[in-house]
Structure 1
Amino acid sequence: MFTGLIQALGSMRSHGEDRFQISCLPEASSSLLSDLAIGDSVAVDGVCLTVEEILPMGFVAAASPETLSRTTLGERQRASTIVNLEASLRVGSKLGGHFVTGHVDGIGCLQESTQTANSWEMSFTAIEGFGELWQRTIARYIIPKGSIAVNGVSLTVADCDPSGSWFKVSVIPHSYAETNLSYLQTGNWVNLEGDILGKYVEKFLRYQPNSLVDAPHTASLDGITPAFLAENGYL
C-alpha cells in the first residue's frame, strides 16, 4: 500500500529481460534507502515491485511478464529513464495522498501540459493501442474531483469527459518539480491507477449474493440515483 506522495526520483536501467536496476538521484532524499531491505515493496512509477538486491545508491527489482505487458515498464527495458519512487506505507505513517496499491489499471498518454499562474494543467487520455478493455477498465473510475495516480503521483481529477477516457489534473509547482511529471513530453505514456474505493463500491453494487452459497448475480441499480446519493450524504 502506498500514498501517492513521491519520496525520491531515480534512474532505471534494464538489468536483464525482466529485472531493473533503480538508482536514486544524488539529490534524492535518503529516507527511501535508509531502511530499505530485501523483500520490501517500492512503487516505481506507480508499479509495485519487490526489492531483490540492495545497491549502495539503489536496488534491483524484477517484474513479471504480466507487469511488463500492462505497464510502461515493458517499453523502457532498453533505455535509462527517470522514475518516481515511493516506499510502502507503514502503520502509523501519515496518509497525505490517497490509498494507492501499485496495481496499475491502464496506460495513459499526455495530451497537453500548460503552465498557469499557480499550477501546471495536464490532460491525459487512455491509449487505445494497449487494448479497448484496458481503456474501459481505468476510464470508469475517473470522475470529477476523484483521486487518480499518474506514474504513482496522487492527483485530483479537475475535469473529465463523461466516459472518463479523457481527464485533466492541476499539479502544484512542488509536485511538478519533485516528480517526473516535469519530464513528460506530449505523447509520453504514463501508468494510471484508479481509486481503490471506487472499485469496491462498484463490486458491491454490481453483485449481491442471495445467500452464502448462491452465485453472485447482477443487482438492480434503478434505485441508485443522484437524488438518492444526495439524501444519504454522498453528494
Structure 2
Amino acid sequence: MFTGLIQTIGLIEQRDLDRLVIHCPDLVAKIAIGDSVAVNGVCLTATQVSDTNFVADVSPETLGRTNLGDRKLKYVNLEMALAVGDRIGGHFVSGHIDGMGKLSDRSLVGNSWELSFEAIPEVARYIVFKGSITINGISLTVSYCNDSGTNFRVAVIPHTYDNTTLKYLDIGSSVHLEGDLLGKYVEKFLKSIHIAPSNLAVPVITPEFLTEHGW
C-alpha cells in the first residue's frame, strides 16, 4: 500500500525482458531485498540492491498493462510502501494500475500547472470532481472532469511539478492511472445490491446503517 507522495525520481539504467535496473542513490539505502516499491505507480518488488541501484522483476502481465517496457521511458517516480504508523498525506494507493491515460493539454496558471488528461472508460468511471486520482504514482485531486470522466484536469503545485516526472511529459505522453480504491469498493457494494435476488432483504443505506458497519 502506498500514499501517492513521491519520494524521489529514479533513472532506468537497464531494461531487460523481465527486469528493470533503477538508479536512485538518495533512496536505495532505505530499500531492502523483498521491499515493495511503487515505480511510476506500479507496485514492484526489489530483488537486488546495490549502493546506488535496485533491481525489480517485471512480469509479462505488468509489461502488457503499463509502459514500463517502453524504451523511451527513462525517468520514473518512486515511493516505498507505507509502513504502520506512517502519516497518510495523499490517499490509499494500491500500486495496481487500472489503465492508461494520455496528457492532452498543459497550461501555466499563476505559479501552478493545470494538466489535462484523457482516460479510458475502465478508469474514467472512478474519476469524480474533487476526487483523488493517481497519475504515474502521484496522488492528485481532480479539479475538473466531464460527465463520463474520460476527460479530466488536475492542478499541480510547483513543488509537485518540479519533484516528479510530470515535468518530463509531452503532449500525447501516456501515463499510468489508478482510480480511488474506496470508489471501487463502493461500486462493488452497489453492484451486489443491484443483483441481489428479489426474495432477499436489501439494506437501506442510512447514517445508522453506515455507523453499524464501521463507517
When normalised by structure 1's length, the TM-score is: 0.81
Counterpart of 1:93 in structure 2 is 86
Q: Corresponding residue for 1:109?
A: 102
Q: Which residue of 1 aligns with 2:45?
A: 50
Residues 116-147 of structure 1 show CA distances to partners (whole Å, capped at 9, x for unaligned) of 10310000002xxxxxxxx2220100000000
Please give the alpha-carbon distance, in whole angstroms, between the structure 1 residues aligned to 2:14 and 2:191: 41
- The aligned residue for residue 148 of structure 2 is 163
Q: Which range is displaced more, 111-120 or 153-162?
A: 111-120
Identity of aligned residues (%): 53
Instruction: Give SS of 2:31's match.
Output: coil
* Pairing 1:203-222 to 2, within 5 Å after superposition: 203-208=188-193, 217=196
Q: How does 1:24-103 map to 2 (within 5 A)?
A: 24=24, 30=26, 32-74=27-69, 76=70, 78-79=71-72, 81-103=74-96
What letter corresponds to residue 82 of structure 1 in structure 2?
Answer: Y
Distance of 2:72 and 2:121 partners within structure 1: 29
Local SS of the residue matching 2:88: coil
Instruction: Name 1:213's counterpart in structure 2.
Output: none
> Which amino acid in structure 2 is aligned with residue 41 of structure 1?
S
Conserved in 2, the CA contact under 8 Å of 1:14 and 1:20? yes
> Residues 138-217 of structure 1: matches in 2 within 5 Å?
138-208=123-193, 217=196
Structure 2 CA distance for aligned equivalents of residues 71 and 199 of structure 1: 20
The code of the aligned residue for 1:23 comes to H
Give CA deviations for 1:171-227 in whole Å, capped at 9, x if unaligned: 000000000001111011100000000000000111149xxxxxx6489x9x88xxx
Indicate the residue corresponding to 1:22 in structure 2: 22
Q: Which amino acid aligns with 2:21?
A: Q
Letter in 1 for 2:174: W
Unaligned runs of 5+ in 1: 127-134, 210-215
- Measured in 2, the distance between the counterparts of 1:85 and 1:40 equals 13
Give the root-mean-square deviation of aligned CA atoms. Answer: 2.4
Letter of the 1:12 partner, please give it. Answer: I
Between the aligned partners of 1:145 and 1:208, the Cα distance in structure 2 is 26
Deviation at 1:34, TM superposition (A): 2.5
Indicate the residue corresponding to 2:213 in structure 1.
none
Q: Which amino acid aligns with 1:206?
A: K
**CA shift for structure 1 position 33:** 2.1
Q: Secondary structure at the match of 2:68?
A: helix
Gaps spanning 5+ residues in structure 2: where? 211-215
Is 1:120 the counterpart of 2:138? The answer is no
Counterpart of 1:7 in structure 2: which amino acid? Q
C-alpha distance in 2 between matches for 1:144 and 1:186 = 23
What whole-Å deviation, never above 9, does each CA across 1:5-36 have from its counterpart, x for those lacking one? 00000111443201101001x6xxx3x32231
**Cα contact 1:142–1:164 (8 A) shared by 2:** yes
With the length of structure 2 as denominator, give the TM-score of the two structures: 0.88
Structure 2 residue matching 1:72: 3-state secondary structure: coil
